[in-house]
Structures are given as structure tokens and as C-alpha cells.
Amino acid sequence: MTDRRTLDEWAALAAKETKGGVDALVWNTPEGIDVKPLYTEADLDGLSHLGGLPGFSPYVRGPRATMYAGRPWTIRQYAGFSTAEASNAFYRKAIAAGQQGVSVAFDLATHRGYDSDHPRVVGDVGKAGVAIDSVEDMKILFDGIPLGEMSVSMTMNGAVIPILANYIVAGEEQGVAPDRLSGTIQNDILKEFMVRNTYIYPPEPSMRIVADIIDYTARRMPRFNSISISGYHMQEAGATLVQELAFTLADGREYVRAALAKGLDVDDFAPRLSFFFAIGMNFFMEAAKLRAARLLWTRIMEGFGPKRATSLMLRTHCQTSGVSLQEQDPFNNVVRTAYEALAAVLGGTQSLHTNAFDEAIALPTETSARIARNTQLILQHETGVTKVVDPLAGSYYVESLTAEMADKAWALMEEIEAMGGMTRAVADGYPKRLIEEAATRRQAEVDRGEAVIVGVNRYALEEETAVEFRAIDNEAVLASQVKRLAQTRAQRDSGAVASALEALAAIARTGEGNLLEGAVAAARVRATVGEISDALRGVFGDHVAGQTVVGGIYGAAYEGDPELATLRERLAEVSGRLATKPRILVAKLGQDGHDRGAKVIASAFGDMGFSVVAGPLFQTPEEAASLAVKERVHVVGVSSLAAGHLTLMPQLVEALKAQGGGDIVVVCGGVVPRADYDALMAAGVAAVFGPGTNVMQAGRAVLDLLEGRLRNTP
């Protein structure tokens, strides 16, 4: 044990080497953890989780005794784009190249339970995932992929009932019974209400859907994970690691309670629950987060009195961060992803997806996907990390972080319990507000250069090199899907479809029976994803979220800064000429529910001095134009993260002209490839703000546009 005198001597030596003394080296993390520059064995005193072994409760060191020394983690590649045919070809190549499981990304039309021919989804079909309208699409998606042998993970929440039903029927028609299907369906609706927003129905019936799926899979699909409780999208939306950990495990506890309320025995479903975490750039804290997650989940599950040890284990999939990827100097993303992958492995993940370096620009190309996949193969085969179980065990720093993260997350979970549980907290908007505050605070740190992003706010290239990216022809995909839908409807027994949909609606109305069972029957007779969703919509209704914007956080970071003071002076001058504050509508078009960027912009622009209207999610261009004219805004700023901009932005410009708002300035920001800028400008978009844009600079640019418009107005 290092004695006090030795530590004092170290402190004296360290003080000579630093300008502000040792205290100046303490790192205050966004989680509220003060990370010291030195940890010793004294920091392990009193930590209750030490001394355990992997494979034994509380599973801090891993759920399996031998971990990767016995079997490496599963390499997954989350992918889906365009048509089922194109995605199937991608999967088959990836499997041949070493991928060990299929992870399906669906397009936003499918996520929201719309068929591809629905008028609300014209810009979304096939753009950010694969379009699935019926069993016919699902059969093509898995053609040549033996579902009895290949594990399939599906990121689906809102339309989880029809998608899982279609997958089950596709398996049946491949000759694979449900009890032989293996994989995971996300089925995590509480997270959708917090951050990702691909919900359909209100919280209460949505929780019933979750419970029915757990019930069905427990009885019929023993190899299938009925839910993947996801913190990934929370971190992507801006949550701190403690928030991600606490809210994810609180969601998990709520789902367990919902299943128990269905009359299930905890040991019948708990071993098939799985988790999904994001892995960002805080290397050691990410590893500690996974260790703390296993510790806390064991504590939670012990409260339900299971008899099987496997009911206490937290098993998780991880994915490297999408938010950490940058458009600028994008090859840096290869390095970022490799570090994040190593953190996930050292934290003990059971499966892993590594993002491609070009995903801040568009969907990955085959080349970028191969590099991402090989990142994991190199980790498994060349680094030696699989040879020793839990190599970070006993680290003064990591073990201390594990304990501190567990304590802080547990305290936040106790707050949630005091509010009445996670469903109530989500309905009240509490987790969402905390995450949005954290996201806005982080953006201010990046914009001010306090958080360094290499190639973006420091060490930036003078001139960027163009990068090849995957482009999806939305019109071609849409035409293909509409044609197949028409063929499916023409060839099916319409009477059988109507009967199956009515039977499903009756289950929803009465509460008697299982919703997934009814959906499987409907899928067999070729009821579509949209029709099954609408049968439930007719009973449950649609969820409509209120739009709130946090304030005072971005501005507080710049308080006293001459940059903000100058901008506010300019805003005051423009306000005088307009006889009102410059007014901006922050809009989301199509079915893209990712609203981190929109919320940060709305919050920051409000703090700068703009009058901000936060538009609702899922608007058509015509609806956004109508709101802009009604609210008499001067600017419409559209946040686009799902590649629908080339379709939706020109429609918005035309809709504004048609409704008398042709003088309104239209700008666009988000994941927009530079190759698309010219087309957007030609369509009437005044400015495009790509990934990594400094928000203060965007505010100045919007003000420049307004001043230019005023100069040109008689």
C-alpha cells in the first residue's frame, strides 16, 4: 500500500510540473465525476464489487466464466438500405467476409408503420434503411440466409408487431419453425418516447405490445431475445454516460414489471432480455459503464426473486458512436471507431457493431463497411485481447470509475422510482429534458473549443478531399416498392385479410389474446405492415408529442463572451427594422424522429436572441409551410438526418411559394453530403449547414441572410 508520505512526495513533485498545482489536473466530466490525475490502491478501499470472478454474481467481470478466451464476441454489421434485394446482397457478402450475425436497419416509413405508397412517406422510402411492406419483402431480405442458423437482430420499436410477425412468417415459409429462430428484436418503446421518436401509439398500449411480445416469445421462441433495452440512442441524443446507464436500466426494470403483470414467471423471460449500449470516445469510462451495468442489473433482478442465475445476468450488444463520427477529415473516424470498439471489448460486450467512417455523410459503402468489419476481426485475431478474461480487473482507475458510475446511476434511478417509475417519468418528460440539457451543454463546449474534436474545431484541414459515398435513388426505390405492394394486394385473398385484421383489432379492443399472435395470422395472408399498424391505430390512436425547448444553457456558456454580445447587438438592429425579433421555425420533415440537432438549434438560437418556433415532428413540407406562414416566421430551418433532403426541401420551397411565404428564407442542416449542396441551392435553399457546424457561426450566417433580404427589400 502506498503510504501517505509517498503520496505527499508525489503531490509535491507533480505541483512543480504543473502551473496550477495538482488540483488543476482534476477532470470534471459531464457525468459530475471528478477524475483525479492519479489513482492508487487506496482508491479500492471499501469497493464492494471487487474480488468476484467472471461468470459469477454480480457479473462485473462478465456473464461467462471464460468470456472471449472461450468464445469471442459476435461480430455484427447493422445495415439496411434501398430495397430488400439490395440489402440481401449486402448481407450475403458481409457473411462471406466474416460477419457472424445479421442486424437489420429499416427505413423510417417502416419504423412508423406506413406502407411505401402512403403519401406521408414519399421522401423516406429506402433512404435510411430497407423498406419492408409485407412478407414478400421479408422473404427477399433473407433469401439464401438460413434463418435456422443465422442470428438476426432487428432495430424496430414502433412497428415492432408487424415486423416481427413478418419475420416469423418468412421463417415458416423457409421451413424454420419459431422455436428455431434466434436473434433479437429491439422492442424498447420507452426509449423512443425519450429520444428517438419512432413511436406510433401512446405509452400505455405501447407497453402492452412490449409485454405481449415477451409473452409470445417466452412460449414460442425460446432462442429469441424478446427485447433489447437500448441506451444507445440516449447517448446519441446527448445523454451523459450516467444518464444512459440509469435510464436504460430503469427502462429494463419497467419492462420486467410489465411482463410480470401479464402473469409470466420471471425465470421464463428474464434470461432472454438483452441490452444495447453506445460506446463513445471516453475510453475508460465506457468500459467502466458496462461493468457497472452488470453490477446494477444483478441488484435490480435480485429484487424480483428469480431462481435461475441466468435471470440475473446482463448481456449486451454495443455499437460504436455515430455522433462521434465527423464529416470533416472523415478518415479520422476509422481511428475513433477502433478505440471505441476496444473500449466495448474491454468492458465485456457480447456482440458489437462498428460504424463505417463515412456514416456522418451517408450510408456506408462496401469499402467503408469492410474496414469497419475488419476493425473487429483485427481486434479478435491480432491484438491478443481475447486471451485473458477481463484484463482491466483490478485497475485502480477503472474499478473506482465502475463504483462511482454505479452509485451515480443508482441515485438517478431512485429519483425515477420516487416519481412512480419510468413510464410515469417518460410521460412527464423528465429524462428527455435532462438529455436535451446535456446535449446543448456539450454543443456549447464543442463550439467554444473546450471539447476538442480533431479535424473539426482543432487541427482542421485547409481543404477537404472528396469522399465516395453511397447515394440512394429514392424515386427508383419508391417505384419498386409501390409495384410490389400492388402485386401483393392483387394476388392475396382480400376477404381473409379483412377477417385477420378485424380479429387483430378485436384483440386490441378487448385485451383478450396476444397481439403478436393476431399479427402473425394477418401476415400469413399478406396483410401489409401499414394495414396491421392501422388496425392497431384504430384502437390505440397515435401518440403526438409536445415540443418543448430548454433555455439558458447554450447562452450561459457564452455569457460575457464578446462573440455573443456582438451577435445580440446585430439582432437588436435587425429587430428594429423588422419591428419584431427575427423569427425562425425549426422544422423536421418526413418520418425522421432524430431531433437532437433540431432541439440544440432551437435552444441555442433562443439564447442568442431569435424568436424560435419549435415545429412538431413528422410534418409534410406542406404542413411545415402552412405553420411557417401562420407563425409569420422570417426563416425556416430544417434539420435533416435521414437523407430525405433532396426530395423534401424542394417541396418545402414550392409549398411556401404556393402559400404566400415565398419571401421566407429556407436553410437546411444536418447529415447532408456536400455533393448535394448545389442541388439544394438550385431548388431555393439559401444555406446548408453540414455536420460539425459551429452553432454560433450558423446564427451569424442566418442573420447575414436576413440582413441581405432586408437590403434587397424595397
Active site residues: 78, 232-233, 588, 592, 594
The residue behind cell 432472454 is 272
Do strands 583-587 and 351-353 pair parallel, antiparallel, or not at all (unpaired)?
Answer: unpaired
Interacting residues of 441 by C-beta distance below 8 A, sequence separation 6+: 30, 553, 554, 557
Cell matching residue 3: 503510504
| Closest residue by Cα to residue 260 from 225, 192, 210, 294 | 210
| Closest residue by Cα to residue 687 from 672, 358, 696 | 672
Q: With contact defined as beta carbons under 8 Å apart, do 248 and 229 qualify?
A: yes
Do strands 34-35 and 27-28 pair parallel, antiparallel, or not at all (unpaired)?
Answer: antiparallel
d(C-alpha 204, C-alpha 210), whole Å: 10
3-class DSSP string for 114-141: CCCCCHHHCCCCCCCCECCCCHHHHHHH
By CB neighbour count within 10 A (0-12 exposed, 13-18 middle, 19+ buried), where does 172 fall?
middle
> How many C-beta neighbours within 10 Å does residue 23 have?
12
Cell matching residue 231: 441506451
Interacting residues of 510 by C-beta distance below 8 A, sequence separation 6+: none
* Helix (H/G/I), strand (E/B), else coil: 319: strand
**What sign does the CA torsion over 35, 41, 47, 49 have?**
positive
| Closest residue by Cα to residue 259 from 213, 295, 328 | 213
Order of strands, sheet of 687-689, starting from the edge strand that comes earlier in the sequence:
611-614, 583-587, 635-640, 665-670, 687-689
Distances (CA, A) of 455 to 363, 451, 459, 461: 21, 12, 5, 6
| Closest residue by Cα to residue 695 from 586, 578, 613 | 586
The residue behind cell 469497493 is 47
d(C-alpha 414, C-alpha 551), whole Å: 26
The residue behind cell 452553432 is 695
Backbone angles phi, psi at 337, to 5 degrees: -65, -40
Q: How many residues belong to the chain? A: 714
Interacting residues of 564 by C-beta distance below 8 A, sequence separation 6+: 555, 558, 608, 696
Q: With contact defined as beta carbons under 8 Å apart, do 204 and 243 qualify?
A: no
- DSSP-assigned letter for residue 105: P
Interacting residues of 506 by C-beta distance below 8 A, sequence separation 6+: 512, 513
The string of DSSP letters for 475-538 reads HHHHHHHHHHHHHHHHHS-HHHHHHHHHHHHHHHHH--S-HHHHHHHHHHTT--HHHHHHHHHH
Q: With contact defined as beta carbons under 8 Å apart, do 370 and 377 qualify?
A: no
Residue type, 288: A
d(C-alpha 587, C-alpha 547), whole Å: 11
> If phi over 0 gives left and psi between -120 and 50 gives alpha, with beta otherwise, what is residue 75?
beta
d(C-alpha 242, C-alpha 303), whole Å: 22
Kindly state the helix (H) or strand (E) to which residue 184 belongs, with its residue range: strand 183-185
d(C-alpha 471, C-alpha 82), whole Å: 10
| Closest residue by Cα to residue 326 from 194, 473, 472, 446 | 446
